[in-house]
Structure 1
């Protein structure tokens, strides 16, 4: 692929089939074709390592693989070997498999701050189970979540706070309150405003910014002082920050935490973990009211649990987290140099931890711009880089990073032209990309 040559004839036809059969044309809104430049939304045929191929035969270097879930790269041999060993043994039974015990023990050894764990298939089930458990053990109804973090669950307690609350009773949405990241005083004010009402604080322990010194420990102290449960959503930070997640890196143990994404390297598995005295309320060995914590037909699918164990082994034995950081640092430095060379360093910015990089596209006034994001994405795609973010996988090679930086440089040259013209429209190729959360389609 070069210049303006990118044949997506088959992808466009399949996109039409997807929209005809699936609301939104994808099973995750972040994968929708509205997130990509018009007529430049490739439909994937297959992937290997850090590369994917679309149904038209175009090859791309891929970032943000599987919405950050495929952190080892596609079709990773150690993961596939573990999965294949289980496939011929059956995948689901009327009683627990020994694999469930092995997977739980392996997880608790990897995340030693947790005392019990229960597996599910997606992050939303795990976070909602954490909220339900917190409400049960505290006898309270309000949930306090961090407003600076983009997503927690498909369930009503969270979606009711977004610009897409259709179908959610206001009575449910009103039970969720929000706080800004990094501000302990704001959390204290919430507890003062809703005394003895807040069941839990839920947040990602870190995202694009490092937690201020003492912040996470301060949150834990505040939660416990006010009788609330502290929940860390480690869907993204799990494994990418350290094998034990952000809680392992920063040394702050939450009451409950949720993991997913990188845990299965693309296979469907998530986890709710935490203190035994809380988690056991969803079990059978207590005298309190029972909590319907998690009960999923496919939560114990043996080959997915085998994949999770293989992922954890690979991370610890091969130093994957360190590799992700090294790759991300090389990429971030290259992108910043390329942007500076083209005079757009103030407009194309790389942010976040090296293992979890995103980019910002700013207009001439320094404001976030969907139009300039469209221009940038379009030039990346035309150069063979599929990058809704710059989140790296361990399968990337240095040559992939170098190629990506070259393409970014070409994109920045066009970006400069658009800034000088005062209007990016001629370089968009159609309508701009849209935010995922918006009230109207």
Structure 2
């Protein structure tokens, strides 16, 4: 880098002039000609995208269940601490109005940390850890909130749902300072222990990107109208599947793209059983959209692992239970994919490939319509929040009687 910067420097222009006594004097020009000015390329100094570390965060189902240990009493204590942290994520998602993909990111970070380092000994310390993970997820997925917002919400949670001795009253001011200090401590600890690896492969974020307006109008222009009419309902069911199953340690089983594809297959099977037994995804639907290899046997094995994790960890209302009893034959009836024997999947979403993407007229019209709708909504909301002042309010106070 140093060599290239030195080469890019423009040397000042020098002119040799001769004095009356014959001596030569070297004059340095204070100005640089426009054509000689160095060309500034920001990408040489700061990349347009920062690449996160790439680590393997997927494990065998038996290894994940084995992390609970063989002692039933200790396993129950661990699950109790997990439930408290997951309840914390769920509560703060509602109170702070966080995005769904921030909630799923919190769960992903939580299970990664638990698998590698286990949880702290006490429930209050687990809540402090969960707060640091939530803040990290929020900074990664959306606009960060002021620190006081996290602290207030965490204190409210600890007062209402945290463990406390019978009759003991918490000093709120003291608790706020403790929560603030623990946030700083655990946030540093979490980032260092996870190796600053924020490449989460968040399936909730991926599903929104894979089927965003850009790809709907550019990549999916050749899909039949009948499938386009059905697909939004399937997409919504897949979103629900991702959010609900994120409460279990399913994120440790597979990468984000595989999780999205599996969620779509589950939604397709559900649609087949409930509404249209003849429903089927278009030819090579998954091969054209996902940079992973999918086989009916592999996806069926994932569903079986999902069910095993539900039985081993938490009995929740959102559990899929017997709905996960999906065989490879069921999946073969749903998808129509060409075999990929020995062929590496092609990643359509590499940054260098998509940064100069195509734009067609339909996408431009769609974007323009959405911008106009947003502007209209903002103007109408402002008019509701700020109604026209009445005549007495418009009179200056000093003129009133």
TM-score in same-fold range (> 0.5): no
With normalisation by structure 1, the TM-score equals: 0.24
Greater helix fraction, Structure 1 or Structure 2: 2
Greater strand fraction, Structure 1 or Structure 2: 1
Q: Which has the higher contact order (CA 8 A, sep 6+)?
A: 1
Find the structure with the greater CA-based Rg: 2
With normalisation by structure 2, the TM-score equals: 0.26
